Amino acid sequence: MPYTIGLPSAASAFLSAGFATQFSVAVVICLVIVLITASLPPEGGDEAPKSLPGLPFLSIVPFFRQRYDFLNWGFRITGQSTFQFQLMNNTVIAVSGASARRAFFYAKGFDLTEGFKFLSGAIPMVRGVTSGIQTKRISTIHKRLAAVQKNASLSELIPAILEDSRRILESYGTSGIFDPFDKIYELMFQTTVRSLSASEISDDAALVARLKTLYDRLDTGTTPATVLLPWFPTPAMIKKIWATKEIYDIVVRAIDAREQSGVSRNDTLQMLVDAGDERLVVVGFIMGLLIAGARATGTTASWIITFLGGHADWRHKAKTEVESLLATYSDATMSSFSARLAEIPLEIWESQTPVLDAIIRETLRVAQPHTAMRRNLGPEVYINDKSIPSGAYVVYPFSDVHLDPEIYPDPWRFDPSRKEVEPTADLPLPYVGWGVGKTTCLGTRLAKIELKLTVALFLLGFDHVLVSGDGNTPTAPPKPNWNDILQCRPPHGACSVKYTRTAFAL
């Protein structure tokens, strides 16, 4: 057996080599093992979902980089409403259709946290804080988020959100052009920090900007490798780790400053401290919910301003509705729009803004590129007569219902006048914009108020239209890019907002 003769020599050479060589060889061997493992096809059977053709590892990059196109291709190429593929040695099953939608959102064993943690990867991971959290701590965080949205708390937030919005909008000057997916997103990040963290952070514009940069770094640093091989020290993973550490340090410093000062503030941190919550709950609440809230409201607000810039009729309807609220519920002699908007009671914002409600609803339908993610932590279940084994990951793309022309004719068209589709036995859950079943968005009430306040102040303070990259007025707003899983953002430079200040003070 001559091939054994070289093994001791090879081992000796490896051990005597420098660390750089040893590390490189180890990486290559590891990647080969991973690649072989990823290429193993999933177990089959009549009840198993059909697998995608080709080598399994070829699904990895499309799933993370072009998810909308990839999932649509999967349903089309298999000819099935349920199919499976591999992400390394993990089975992922994509489901579609009315019955699958109902089963997916109501399955008792389908866990959102486990699914999102693995398949997304774009949240700051700190064990015991934002990952590996005890069930009791998760329950506490949910209770505290509900407390933030009680009538009294939410009413007290309204003036602060409007003041933040006024300050930022004032910085735009009297006229100009901006990218809404930068500027409006920054605005909503500030209001979310105000709503869900500490005044030590939200009062410091430079610190808020730094925090946004760090969360953006988590987004841009999320690659297939960082999600599937979190232990592998790629440059992107190292950047994510340092960004997470900085975010953690910012939050902890704010908590320490509050405790050391002994001064009580009217903000979310004070509510958490007064409740006697342990440090891990407080830090986890702020770190996790900040990015979840900012992404969702930032994306929605950016698209609302974009859509209204291309639809003068709906921009006029929304502004008229806000002006009507001002005429009825505020003092016309007050010096600024922000002060007058702050006088409008919370219940009026929630019950007497049908135009803003319709605009938000339609924006969520056409420009929120969500793919719901779960892991089956319960026993085997069946969806579309196909087995979903315990431990498998399951995904449901919102586009399956929100862009279905049978439910929403001309589905890419922004049209807030669409009549709400009522659920039936044959068409369950025709709209899932705020989540459904046991995973309805817990921050819905706060998000809606943030959106209404900031959009109202912008419409009162500015006249705006869309302009294309060449400076001309486009025939229609850009088509949302559902492959951009964070902002649904159109190609850079495809459109901008051209604005002019109105004659009234913000």
Q: What is the pLDDT of residues 448-464, one digit of tens each?
A: 999 999 999 999 999 99
% of the chain exceeding 70 in pLDDT: 85
Residue 35 has pLDDT above 60, yes or no: no
How confident is the model at residue 78, as a pLDDT? 97
Give the three-class secondary structure for 137.
helix
Q: Name the least confident of 28-37, 77-86, 444-453.
A: 28-37
Residue 56 has pLDDT above 50, yes or no: yes
Please tell me the pTM assigned to this model: 0.88
Higher pLDDT residue, 119 or 458?
458
Q: Name the least confident of 40-44, 371-375, 443-447.
A: 40-44
Residue 243, burial from CB neighbour count under 10 angstroms (0-12, 13-18, 19+): buried
Residue 30 has pLDDT above 60, yes or no: no
Q: What is the pLDDT of residues 177-200, one digit of tens each?
A: 999 999 999 999 999 999 999 999
Mean pLDDT, range 227-234, rounded to an integer:
69
Residue 131 has pLDDT above 80, yes or no: no
Q: Is 449:441 a contact under the CB 8 Å cutoff?
A: no
Question: What is the chain's mean pLDDT, rounded?
Answer: 87
Domain 135-352+436-501 sits in CATH at: 1.10.630.10
How confident is the model at residue 501, as a pLDDT? 96
* Band (124; pLDDT cuts 50, 70, 90): low
Long-range contacts of 128-131 (CB under 8 A, 24+ apart): 128/280, 128/284, 129/248, 129/280, 129/283, 129/284, 129/287, 129/288, 130/284, 130/287, 130/288
CA atoms within 13 A on the CB side of 489: 17
Q: Name the least confident of 69-73, 264-268, 360-364, 436-440.
A: 436-440
- Binding site, annotated residues: 441
Domain ranges of the chain: 135-352+436-501
How confident is the model at residue 33, as a pLDDT? 45
Residue 28 has pLDDT above 50, yes or no: no
* Band (122; pLDDT cuts 50, 70, 90): low
- Binding site, annotated residues for heme: 441
How confident is the model at residue 134, as a pLDDT? 59
